[in-house]
Chain A
Amino acid sequence: MAAAVRTAPGPRGPGAPVLVADAVGKRFGGVQAVDGISLTMAPGERIGVIGPNGAGKTTLFKLLAGDELPTAGTVELFGQDVTRVGTARRARLGLGRTFQVSNLFRDMTVLDNVRVAARGGTPRARVFWRPQRPKDEISQRALASLESVGLSRRAQDTVADLSHGEQRQLEIAMALVTEPEILLLDEPAAGLSAVERSTLRRLIEELPRTLPILLIEHDMSLALGLTDRVMCMENGRHVVTGTPQEVRDNETVKAIYLGRRDKK
């Protein structure tokens, strides 16, 4: 599978943390978007990140995924220092992710989107001497992934023809098909309707328990319902970390973040 061709990750004993962010910070000109956040993910751990709009969640996410380089602190992935390492390399180490704003291949079909994701820079993607085959393993995996998010009936449509919510579903399918060893999700449920949300919920629940997940969500039933541990941020800083219940009951979190519907 995809994992087989990945370059060997660094030292990785059982129980060693898969992802460590040590006092990372990111400054954009006058804005300190992320300010000294430390985070350790154990194998199989599922962490939620919440916080008001503009708290720095996505920026933190980008620091972990490699889209942005931190202005302070270090990031370690599977025991390897990746602070200055590019996105592609982190992906090859096994990091899978979604985008907060759908980032799809608009002029390609839905199926091709997922196929390209499934090949993820492996030697299969370099095959140029014969056409893509409709029944090969990659296509099967791609279809299965579409099925799991409920998009298989649109496999042959062009992405530009999809509704917003359908594009969000595709976004998730593309992250999952890479069979990542650590999964970062940035507001995966945004734009999804109720049914699709419960599908998503089931999907995440059914992922192997060994897969560590970092989840940013404003939907509290997901952010608090799917995770082992939740971190709340505000203005780039850490506010509180704890079990979902602890965070929900925290007075600061209630004041700065939770709405009437969630405080109930």
Chain B
Amino acid sequence: MTLEVSDLHVGYATAAVLHGVDLTVGDGQSVALLGRNGMGKTTLVRSICGLRPPTVARGSIVFGGEDITRKAPFQISRVGIALVPQGRRVFGSLTTTENLTVVPRRRAASAGEPWTVERVFEFFPRLADRSKQMARSLSGGEQQMLAIGRALMTNPRLLIMDEPSEGLAPAILDIIQDRLAELRSSGLSILLAEQNVDLALDIAEHVVIIDDTGRSTWTGTAAQLRADTSPLEQYLGI
């Protein structure tokens, strides 16, 4: 199932943000979305997931041949798109386990074997120790792990992660990188908005950069970027 975003124009009541973004995430592919703070990564991610605001002014978002541009968030989730939102947004008054069980689980057309609480705990052993704790009192990194686990619990086809590395200790990032690689081999597609360019290039094979014009200015592969870092310098100031 392929995600195709074409010529997307998106804005808020106060300002237009994206002025023509094109992006494709093929089946089992992993795409990194790069851009400086405030360039519109989250805006794009939210548009894909159907969250309002912002509003889509023009363009289309198609997933697996189905136009999801103006669908409601829960409908989009049901076609197999899961979100790790920026800033974690775990359900604070639910326990760790409840956070995982509260989401509806898709059975159909899932990538690989279905997710269970146990499997998430295997993924992040730290969470197992905190299973009965209110999510609000988890540490920042623990919440981030929980947010990732929660998204996986929906058994998605496409996993969208908005800055999953934020607040995670370096060693955890390695684990995540390895596990995501495994998951991709079982058919999961990944769209990753990231500030940590090293991590992004390690995880993703394709890269899209959004710049201050609100367009997908640069599209290519991670290998290309490793070979020639000038786009990174130009658009991300590295």
Contacts and interface: CB of A to CB of B under 8 A. Distances in A.
Interface stretch (A14-22, A77-85, A111-119, A163-171): A163-171
Interface stretch (A2-10, A37-45, A172-180, A188-196): A188-196
A58 B140 contact: yes
Interface in B185-238: 195, 197-199, 236-238
A256 interface: yes
A187 interface: yes
Contacts, number: 113
A46 to B, nearest CB: 20
Contacts of B104: none
Contacts of B198: 261
Given A54-B142, A190-B166, A196-B36, A258 B197 contact: no
Contacts of A218: 141, 167-170
Q: How large is the interface on A (under 10, 10 to 19, 20 to 34, 35 or more residues)?
A: 35 or more
Contacts of A192: 37, 195
Interface stretch (B59-67, B75-83, B130-138): B130-138
Chain B interface secondary structure, helix, strand, loop or mixed?
A: loop
A258 B195 CA distance: 19
B49 to A, nearest CB: 16
Contacts of B144: 53
A164 B86 contact: yes
Given A191-B87, A194-B238, 17 more contacts: A53-B139, A53-B145, A53-B167, A161-B14, A165-B36, A187-B140, A190-B140, A191-B195, A196-B37, A218-B167, A256-B171, A257-B170, A257-B171, A258-B170, A258-B171, A259-B172, A261-B173
30 contacts: A28-B137, A51-B169, A52-B172, A53-B139, A53-B142, A53-B145, A53-B169, A53-B172, A54-B139, A54-B141, A57-B139, A59-B139, A102-B87, A157-B14, A161-B14, A163-B38, A164-B42, A165-B36, A190-B166, A191-B163, A192-B37, A194-B197, A194-B237, A198-B237, A257-B169, A259-B169, A259-B170, A259-B171, A261-B198, A262-B170
Interface of B: 12, 14-15, 35-38, 42, 86-87, 126, 130, 133, 137-142, 144-145, 163, 166-174, 195, 197-199, 236-238
Interface of A: 28, 31, 51-55, 57-59, 100-102, 157, 161-166, 168-169, 187, 190-196, 198, 218, 220, 256-262
